[in-house]
């Protein structure tokens, strides 16, 4: 079983619309469920970062509090993960997760079918 961070667009292309951001997170969650059914432990960084961002008093997506937690938390998570699954379209944040994963010498997958299944 691998612990895999799913990286995909969150804000990209949404113009910070809460509805579109939520849709992007739902897409990552759906992919997480697929990974789970394949025998892995999926992780979407927003499952952890968004409640922390809210608790810290963020007033809007992209404010200072948001920026201090959102990507740094995911980068910390990657140190504990076995790799990263990059999904979706253009996203500077997801591309940062790919770069960070590679710097940690861990695998990056772009297709769920390329991830080995546990024995």
E runs forming strands in the chain: 3-7, 41-44, 83-86, 108-109
Provide the pLDDT for residue 17: 87
Q: Is residue 16's pLDDT more than 90?
A: no
Residue-wise pLDDT tens digits, 31-65: 999 999 999 999 999 999 999 999 999 999 999 99
How far is Cα 7 from Cα 45, in angstroms, rounded to an integer?
A: 8
pTM of the predicted structure, to 2 decimals: 0.93
Mean pLDDT over 80-102 rounds to 96
Backbone angles phi, psi at 42, to 5 degrees: -85, 155
- The predicted-structure confidence for 23-32, as pLDDT tens digits, reads as follows 999 999 999 9
Q: Which domains does the chain have, with CATH numbers?
A: 3-113 (3.40.50.10400)
């Amino acid at each position: 079983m691998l612990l895999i961070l799913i990286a995909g667009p969150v804000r990209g292309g949404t113009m910070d619309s809460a509805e579109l951001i939520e849709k992007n997170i739902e897409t990552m969650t759906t992919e997480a469920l697929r990974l789970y059914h394949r025998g892995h432990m999926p992780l979407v960084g927003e499952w952890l970062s968004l409640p922390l961002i809210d608790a810290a008093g963020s007033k809007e997506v992209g404010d200072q509090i948001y920026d201090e937690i959102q990507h740094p938390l995911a980068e910390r998570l990657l140190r504990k993960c076995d790799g990263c699954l990059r999904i979706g379209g253009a996203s500077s944040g997801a591309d940062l997760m790919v770069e960070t994963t590679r710097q940690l010498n861990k695998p990056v997958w772009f297709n769920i079918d390329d991830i080995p299944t546990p024995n």
